[in-house]
Structure 1
């Protein structure tokens, strides 16, 4: 059999391979899939054209620092500061009148402060009458009770006008309320569990059904025994009373004095310890169920009947004879800030504590004139 030889000058033929065809078909398939996938995607939306807006014109007061061509953010109204004068006629609950005049934010707390003054003159609310005129100079304090500087009440039942002015005598630790004649508003116990305090914030006769007298005083104020006796209880019901002491008198009528919310008591002070009248037995604090530093002083009979310290102890009033000229000057300044013009029908009026005549409703406040303290 003859062998077929390639023709001279031509390359020898090779057998075709299937691999090339497979590679070609694979690439073709991939390209086709890519083109099909692109056709299935939604066409991109056209880019939105943002209109160019010219800057708003600036209208500014003379002397302002506004930059021309730039819109300015709205400016909040100034915060009212300084003493305010509130004049209301009683036509129902005391708190309703003060809330209507001072607002929901300040009115409730203002009622409590004003009531602490009124209870030294009248029974609240029993002695209040429709049409009684109540005037207050006060200053709101964020997170605290409002600072009250003047309380004046025209009482129909008593047939007179009561006045109390906040004043700090020279050398005194605290400002207190005094009448225009220099008499201290509060009665002072003799003997007293404290030599110094800022204000009596609770009485048995103030209608709160509180069992003791609360003295507002800084933590660490010395607390004294009010009679000779023996310590019969210490730190009971700590959750409510905090650090506490009970002293039972040595002689008749064997009443008990209770001191609550004290600072930490020394371990050496134990049940059975004898104490003398006027001896420092503890220091005031803010322990137990207490919202502010104070001393709770309570008297109990041998049969555990609550006694009013102002009925048991002797009382006295302090008159500022030496500071009378300074007090008289201060009273004149406070009076100059007040006005007695109020509507005949019960309606509140709040005005700045200045000599201007009020208009109906609420008027923005102003700071006190120079020389008038606001604390």
Structure 2
């Protein structure tokens, strides 16, 4: 009996111990969870991840950094402070490969505001928007020049009006930067590339224009010479004025002259003498136009002719102003050295 009693107590203890372990490891019922925590238990299905949520989430694409607007436009910008020779300052800003040529091209705009180099002052500043072209001179799009001589900031923008053959430089007002000559030897051209006051000691005005552009008599005169010093002048004509101011006009680097053209021929103002070319000592198609008094004193055509500026048509102003805003944005809002 004693043995049976001990065995019964032992079996009961084992059963009680197993029930206790089971109750500790089994999940609590909703009622038990409510009693223990005061909140209902969350069903396992509510927290188990679904097949869709278990899949890896693809990373959102990272936006590429914005492209450099200058590089996107294929342009460069130079910020220049003049504290000595202009070419030195431009070369320091743009580099030795571009600087010397860029200085010459920029001068073509500055000469319409000041004499170069005589009117340049220490502390003058330049901002230039330009395009580098292998094998060609840089193409300038915009120039902003702050002059201590004039006390002003001057601006010019390259723009080609619809229907025009050539782009030209315009002031913010919509007027052309360059003055035009009344009774000019050329009705149209791309740019004046040299003046008497540009510091090059040049005796005439160079008009950049394609080969074959009609060249006209600026006054009524008689042909006195043709094709002299051909090595340097190329095909050329000298026209002596009849009456008037008794001037002589020289036209150099022309295309082949008409066979009918002879010394002693008379041409009325506006009559065609020949066509522009690239002959003689010339490095690009252009016309060299030189005026002299009868004593061989060189005259400035921009003082001898009446001059004027063309303005954009009202219908083109909105397009021009949009282009000015674009170029100003690429040029930057701060003045060089400011």
TM-score by length of 1: 0.69
Per the TM alignment, residue 88 of structure 1 is displaced from its structure 2 partner at its CA by 1.5
What residue in structure 1 maps to residue 318 of structure 2? 325
Matched, 1:84 2:76: yes
For residue 266 of structure 2, the aligned residue among 274, 294, 305 is 274
> Which deviations, in whole Å up to 9, do the C-alpha atoms of 1:65-85 show, x marking residues without a partner?
xxxxxxxxxxxxxx9981111
Matched, 1:158 2:154: no
| Structure 1 stretches lacking a partner, 5+ long | 1-78, 346-375
Per the TM alignment, residue 342 of structure 1 is displaced from its structure 2 partner at its CA by 7.0
Per the TM alignment, residue 252 of structure 1 is displaced from its structure 2 partner at its CA by 3.4
What residue in structure 2 maps to residue 262 of structure 1? 254
For residue 299 of structure 1, the aligned residue among 275, 287, 291 is 291
Inter-CA distance 147–343: structure 2 relative to 1 (3 Å threshold): closer
What residue in structure 2 maps to residue 334 of structure 1? 327
After superposition, the CA RMSD in angstroms is 1.6
CA distance in 2, matches of 1:305, 1:257: 12
Inter-CA distance 201–318: structure 2 relative to 1 (3 Å threshold): same
What residue in structure 1 maps to residue 107 of structure 2? 115
Alignment map for 1:14-29 (pairs within 5 Å): none
Preserved CA contact (<8 Å) 2:192 2:208? yes
For residue 221 of structure 1, the aligned residue among 213, 223, 246 is 213
> Which deviations, in whole Å up to 9, do the C-alpha atoms of 1:204-249 show, x marking residues without a partner?
1111111110000000000000111111101101001000001111
Preserved CA contact (<8 Å) 2:230 2:280? yes
For residue 87 of structure 2, the aligned residue among 91, 95, 105 is 95
CA distance in 1, matches of 2:197, 2:238: 23
Alignment map for 1:68-79 (pairs within 5 Å): none
Per the TM alignment, residue 341 of structure 1 is displaced from its structure 2 partner at its CA by 4.3
Instruction: Flag the structure with higher helix content.
Output: 2
Q: Which runs of 4+ in 1 moved over 2 A?
A: 338-345
Any idea what SS the aligned residue of 1:209 has? coil
Per the TM alignment, residue 343 of structure 1 is displaced from its structure 2 partner at its CA by 7.7
What residue in structure 1 maps to residue 169 of structure 2? 177
CA distance in 1, matches of 2:282, 2:297: 23
Preserved CA contact (<8 Å) 1:138 1:148? yes
Preserved CA contact (<8 Å) 1:191 1:226? yes
Matched, 1:131 2:123: yes
CA distance in 2, matches of 1:334, 1:200: 22
Q: Which has the higher contact order (CA 8 A, sep 6+)?
A: 1
CA distance in 1, matches of 2:255, 2:336: 50
CA distance in 2, matches of 1:338, 1:277: 44
Inter-CA distance 344–252: structure 2 relative to 1 (3 Å threshold): closer
Matched, 1:205 2:222: no
| Structure 2 stretches lacking a partner, 5+ long | 1-70
Preserved CA contact (<8 Å) 1:180 1:327? no
CA distance in 2, matches of 1:249, 1:303: 13
Any idea what SS the aligned residue of 2:105 has? helix
The size of the alignment, in residue pairs, is: 267
